[in-house]
Chain A
Amino acid sequence: MTEDRLTTLYKTYGPTIYIRCRSILSDEAEAHDATQETFLRVYRHLDEVPGRDEALYWIYRVATNYCLNELRNRKNRPAVARTTIDDVPLAYDIERRIVSRDLAARLIATAHPKVKPVAWLYHVDGLDQEEVGKVLKLSRRTVINRLAAFATTAQKLFRRSET
């Protein structure tokens, strides 16, 4: 390991990882920690990844799985609520985004662990089935099946909330 290479890679992929973690966790401090943990996981095996696009898919896979696990673990943390006084201006259609994102996040939180990353990448990130498969190294058939399983769970929740 050379320090220069480490710094270069962190500067190259760090912003991508940080933005990804902020997007999923919606918490600045947690995103800091998640970025560090994700990069450590990525760096240790980056030499084994053949191309830059593959590296990007891999980063998405590691960051998404790590952050979704963190969301699950939040339930076990101390009761003090923690939010960010965000200094980032988000003027664009913020209410719609928050409502739809919050709904998607709550639905995904109830899904099976294998279904969660598929549902997040497809429904929140807007990736198509093929891209989801590439990121998660799943066949398209598996992606379709897991999205179908998510849809079934979501429909049940909707029906339950209507009754």
Chain B
Amino acid sequence: MKAAHLTSLDFDRLGLGNLASGDAATLRAHLDACPDCQQRQEHRHILADQFAREVLPRSLPVVRERLSPHGWWSRPWRPRRLVVWLALAPAVCGVVLALALVRHGKPPVASLGADASDISVKGRGGLTLYVRHGSKVARFAPGAVLEAGDAIRFTIEPRGNAYLLIVGVDGAGAVSAYYPFGRWQSAPVTEGVRFEVPGSVVLDDSPGPERIFALLSPQPLDGTWVRTTLQALAARGPQAIRSAHALQLPGAETWSVVFEKRETPR
């Protein structure tokens, strides 16, 4: 311990029982007498609870799948193997594409529909948005105008499909993956349990529409097609973003909501 207080390593050693009894007693004696360290310990307990309650149930199935000996990504990358794969990549890609076409006729394609209304923004479960404006937090109302700096949180109730992808496209042409953040690959959620997407999205200052899509699918979804579709939508301009209500992807449930962003009044 360099500092006068317990380090994070000290807390972890104590928690994991890695210390000799004398060292542990010394640290505990400090802990008993130090309000600062007690508060840090309390904060760590809160985070550990959060891990057990939220992170573990969601990520353990993914970890297990990725560590499965049958998962192709479970193999460690080694330079020599990588070179071989790079050399074979064009041929492998050709074979994979051919197999996919034979099996499905054509690759799954995301397409945009113009259904009559936004879906499941209220009632009926599904996707719900909460907006924090200043110190006020309110449920999002369809058609609302939001400001730069407003923060949005998402909740969703999966009703059968178990992999979630939340994406957005705005009038400035930017496409974003909001859950999992920055990744165009859906992540597992627990069926029938209301899921609060961790973190929030803070709106930037580019005015115009932003449309959010939530996609739930029975299998992990590669969002490459979704991203391509959204980029094409962005290229068609703000009005197209306002009117494209549905993102249709075979096998996936989708929800969509649009709002207008305006610059913060000075």
Contacts and interface: CB of A to CB of B under 8 A. Distances in A.
A22 B47 CA distance: 9
B114 interface: no
Contacts of A93: 36
Contacts of B51: 14-15, 18-19, 35
Contacts of A131: 2, 7, 9
Given A15-B47, A90-B43, A126 B176 contact: no
A78 B9 contact: no
A53 B59 contact: no
Interface residues of A, number: 54
A21 to B, nearest CB: 10
Given A18-B51, A80-B204, A92-B36, A7 B60 contact: yes
Nearest to B36: A92
B47 A40 contact: no
Contact of B2 (A56, A60, A79, A128): A128
Q: Decide if the interface of chain A is mainly helix, strand, loop or mixed.
A: helix
Interface stretch (B11-19, B95-103, B120-128, B228-236): B11-19
Interface string A31-50: 01101100110011000000
A154 to B, nearest CB: 18
Interface of B: 1-3, 5, 7-9, 12-13, 15-18, 35-36, 39-40, 43-44, 46-48, 50-52, 54-56, 58-60, 62-64, 66-67, 69, 76, 132, 151, 153, 174-176, 179-183, 197-204
Given A14-B55, A125-B8, 4 more contacts: A15-B47, A18-B48, A80-B174, A126-B3
13 contacts: A6-B63, A16-B15, A18-B48, A29-B198, A78-B175, A80-B202, A82-B199, A82-B200, A83-B200, A85-B151, A85-B199, A93-B36, A131-B7
Interface of A: 1, 3, 6-7, 10-12, 14-16, 18-20, 22-23, 27-30, 32-33, 35-36, 39-40, 43-44, 52-53, 56, 60, 77-85, 88-93, 122, 125-129, 131, 135
